[in-house]
């Protein structure tokens, strides 16, 4: 178990292969990349392929080709969560042996009927493993944290105190468990991602503390939204154009408040990144959880006016 903080900044981008990269995911990838590169740090890529029913065939390779077309080249070995089940199982077995988890047979319908948050119904029942989810007995909840961009973030007591699932009843490992173990093992020093993951962060901090592992810093970027809805694969946000990725990269820099020169709008990705890395300024990134776009497809943004 990695319990020693690395000397070098280490960031990461962790897409799920549920569809191609779109402008919203480009913002997260670019923000994490620039934060790492501006600090002479490492930038890792991990494929979060934990949920096969949601995966799109070929999406993982498409995502990697898109990152390469954008010039966002990662360091070290590419990691796939689907190849790390043994590591997750090792930690869950340890927790089970220490009485930190328990089996739960409650359905989503039952939890919804009880108000939407799990009440701990199965905690003391000693239920069998078959057809059961595994929940963490939350004895040391985390109610808030400091985010480098969003400031002080607090969540409702009931959410912080909920015994959340670490392995689903279908046997798949939960996101909160896997992301913490993976970031811990990779020595990630700061997590840069979208603001839709602000609330789950308190649960992840609780897991870091349970694992006695160094906690990373947190930096949640504003989400790109259109018509009040986050750009996502689920709402069919259009894929990035890998044949001419420069305009989308320029627009992502502008979205992040970096003020790229208008004359670079038609530049190649290498030229854009050569400007972006030394000019990255976190204080310019807009605060707040989301930014409304005028158009859902970044390729349709107007060309900036040359001064």
9 annotated to bind ligand: no
The Cα 165–Cα 113 span in angstroms is: 18
**Burial letters 93-123, b for 16+ CB under 10 A, else e:** eebeeeeebbbbebeeeebeeeeeebebebb
295 annotated to bind ligand: no
48 annotated to bind ligand: yes
The Cα 28–Cα 307 span in angstroms is: 29
145 annotated to bind ligand: no
Q: What's the chain's length in residues?
A: 307
The Cα 66–Cα 19 span in angstroms is: 12
- List the 42-47 sheet strands across, edge first: 10-13, 42-47, 79-80
122 annotated to bind ligand: yes
Among left, alpha and beta (phi > 0; psi -120 to 50; other), residue 288 is left
15 annotated to bind ligand: yes
Supply the pLDDT for residue 62. Answer: 94
Q: Residue 235 sits in a domain of what CATH number?
A: 3.40.50.620
37 annotated to bind ligand: no
Give the mean pLDDT of 233-261. Answer: 84
Q: Considering only CA atoms, give the Rg of the chain.
A: 20
Provide the 3-class DSSP secondary structure of residue 31. helix
Query: How many domains does one find in the chain?
Result: 1
Question: How much of the chain exceeds pLDDT 90, in percent?
Answer: 77
233 annotated to bind ligand: yes
18 annotated to bind ligand: no
Number of H helices, E strands in the chain: 9, 13
Predicted confidence (pLDDT) per residue in 69-95, tens digit = 999 999 999 999 999 999 999 999 999
Q: What range does the domain containing 43 cover?
A: 1-307
Residue matched to tokens 């790229």: 260
Predicted confidence (pLDDT) per residue in 270-299, tens digit = 999 999 999 999 999 999 777 877 654 444
Higher pLDDT, 301 or 205: 205
Predicted confidence (pLDDT) per residue in 189-229, tens digit = 999 999 999 999 999 999 999 999 999 999 999 998 876 55
Provide the 3-class DSSP secondary structure of residue 181. helix
């Amino acid at each position: 178990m990695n319990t020693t903080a690395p000397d070098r900044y280490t960031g990461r981008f962790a897409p799920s292969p549920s569809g191609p990269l779109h402008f919203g995911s480009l913002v997260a990838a670019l923000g994490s990349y620039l934060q790492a590169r501006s600090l002479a740090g490492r930038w890792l890529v991990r494929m979060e392929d934990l949920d096969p029913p949601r995966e799109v065939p070929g999406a993982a390779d498409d995502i990697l080709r898109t990152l390469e077309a954008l010039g966002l080249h990662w360091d070290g070995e590419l990691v796939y969560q689907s190849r790390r089940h043994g590591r997750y199982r090792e930690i869950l077995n340890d927790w089970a042996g220490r009485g930190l988890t328990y089996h739960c047979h409650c359905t989503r319908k039952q939890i919804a009927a009880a108000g939407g948050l799990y009440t701990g119904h199965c905690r003391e029942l000693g239920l069998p493993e078959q057809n059961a989810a595994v929940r963490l007995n939350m004895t040391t909840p985390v109610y808030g944290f400091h985010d480098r961009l969003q400031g002080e973030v607090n969540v409702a007591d009931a959410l912080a105190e909920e015994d959340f699932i670490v392995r689903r009843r279908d046997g798949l490992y939960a996101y909160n468990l896997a992301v913490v173990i993976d970031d811990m093992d990779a020595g990630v020093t700061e997590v840069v991602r979208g603001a839709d993951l602000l609330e789950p962060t308190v649960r992840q901090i609780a897991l870091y503390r349970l694992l006695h592992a160094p906690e990373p810093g947190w930096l949640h970027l504003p989400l790109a939204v259109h018509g009040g809805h986050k750009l996502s694969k689920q709402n069919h946000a259009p894929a990035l154009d890998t044949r001419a990725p420069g305009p989308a990269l320029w627009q992502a820099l502008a979205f992040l408040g970096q003020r790229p020169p208008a004359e670079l709008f038609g530049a190649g990705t290498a030229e854009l990144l050569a400007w972006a890395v030394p000019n990255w300024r976190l204080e310019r990134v807009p605060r707040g959880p989301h930014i409304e776009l005028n158009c859902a497809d970044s390729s349709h943004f107007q060309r900036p006016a040359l001064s």
